[in-house]
Structure 1
């Protein structure tokens, strides 16, 4: 964790359930480099991460 304040964050990956491929959250990267999951419902252990698709 950085000593710099978290001011802005952006989603960099989608968090998907390994069993169902359902979207369960997003992984955010903050302006100070910290990473933080944002769960849609409850946190899960059996997940996989998929990069966000960038708009052209």
Structure 2
């Protein structure tokens, strides 16, 4: 974590369930370079990541 405050975050990656291929969250990148998952429900261990550009 960096000493700069997190002011602006944008979703950069979709988090999908490995088994069902359903959307379970997004990975956000903050203005200070930090990344953080935002889960739609509960956090999951068996996931795969899909860049936002590939999702369109």
TM score, norm. by length of structure 1: 0.93
Runs (4+) of structure 1 exceeding 6 A deviation are: none
Q: What is the rounded CA distance, in whole Å, between the counterparts of 2:2 and 2:51 in structure 1?
A: 23
Matches within 5 A, 1:1-56: 1-53=1-53
Aligned residues: 54
Task: Kindly report the root-mean-square deviation, in angstroms, between the aligned alpha carbons of the 2 structures.
Answer: 1.1
| Higher fraction of helix | 2
Structure 2, unpaired ranges of 5+: none
TM score, norm. by length of structure 2: 0.93
Q: What is the rounded CA distance, in whole Å, between the counterparts of 1:17 and 1:2 in structure 2?
A: 29
1:2 deviates by: 0.6
Q: What is the rounded CA distance, in whole Å, between the counterparts of 2:6 and 2:26 in structure 1?
A: 17
Q: What is the rounded CA distance, in whole Å, between the counterparts of 1:3 and 1:44 in structure 2?
A: 28
